[in-house]
A and B are shown apart, each in its own frame.
Chain A
Amino acid sequence: GAVVSQHPSWVICKSGTSVKIECRSLDFQATTMFWYRQFPKQSLMLMATSNEGSKATYEQGVEKDKFLINHASLTLSTLTVTSAHPEDSSFYICSASRQGLLHFGNGTRLTVT
């Protein structure tokens, strides 16, 4: 089956630093990947749609300069949280689309101190 690997699974960083999260499709090519944010005990909030070779499409209210997305290859999309602040602490999940089905990574728990 389709496998999506997300790394790191958890990260702690200091306020003001940047953090990069990777999302890889291991056994298929993903022209489209999605990045979600999930607050405790809440649903997934779509942040942006990442398209290989082009700019990401951000959802309303998501700061594109804060959450940089790069989808440079058919198997890798990265999300960089720039100048992180404690309010950016959250669970971030990526997914890759394959034939209309979403395959999810295991998420990244980001804690900004």
Chain B
Amino acid sequence: AQSVTQLGSHVSVSEGALVLLRCNYSSSVPPYLFWYVQYPNQGLQLLLKYTSAATLVKGINGFEAEFKKSETSFHLTKPSAHMSDAAEYFCAVSVNTGGFKTIFGAGTRLFVKA
């Protein structure tokens, strides 16, 4: 069985500062890992994905994440926060067990201060 843990339900950064959202996973088989962003009253938008290729994954809006198998982590970073980055972020793990099943983390709300 797989699971996802996002450390910190809320993260607050100043505009222009580094964004770091933490995600740890567990999976008995090689996982696919994802980060999604959700704006209020909207669905989820894919930021980036890891599917066993390069361990450093670049996504949209300047975000990137690094898959570290030894640490079972997939932390999301962005060098410089923008006000428009304020949203809810979800880490997710997906495995193919005769069909993909995706488990989402609890989410991290990112606040960006002017």
Chain A residues in the interface with B (C-beta under 8 A): 4, 6, 9-10, 32, 34, 41-44, 46, 49, 91, 93, 95, 97, 100-107, 109
Selected from A9, A41, A43, the residue in CB contact (under 8 A) with B104 is: A43
Residue in B closest to A97 when the chains form the complex, CB atoms: B100
Question: Can you give 28 contacting A-B residue pairs, CB < 8 Å?
Answer: A6-B43, A9-B41, A34-B102, A41-B107, A42-B106, A43-B90, A43-B104, A44-B90, A49-B101, A91-B41, A93-B43, A93-B44, A95-B43, A100-B32, A100-B51, A100-B100, A101-B46, A102-B34, A102-B94, A102-B100, A102-B102, A104-B36, A104-B43, A104-B44, A104-B45, A105-B43, A107-B43, A109-B41
Q: Give the complex CA separation of A93 and B42 in angstroms.
A: 9
Rounded to whole Å, the gap between the CB of B73 and the closest CB of chain A is 18
**Known contacts A41-B109, A43-B104, A43-B105: A100-B41 contact under CB 8 Å:** no
B107 touching A42, Cβ below 8 Å = yes
Residue in A closest to B6 when the chains form the complex, CB atoms: A43
Do most interface residues of chain B lie in helix, strand or loop, or is the interface mixed? Answer: strand
Chain B residues in the interface with A (C-beta under 8 A): 32, 34, 36, 41-46, 49, 51, 90, 94, 96, 99-102, 104-107, 109
Rounded to whole Å, the gap between the CB of A56 and the closest CB of chain B is 13
Q: Give the complex CA separation of A102 and B46 in angstroms.
A: 8
**Known contacts A42-B106, A43-B106: A106-B42 contact under CB 8 Å:** yes
Rounded to whole Å, the gap between the CB of A36 and the closest CB of chain B is 8
Rounded to whole Å, the gap between the CB of B28 and the closest CB of chain A is 18
B104 touching A107, Cβ below 8 Å = no
Chain A residues whose CB sits within 8 angstroms of the CB of B46 once the complex forms: 101-103
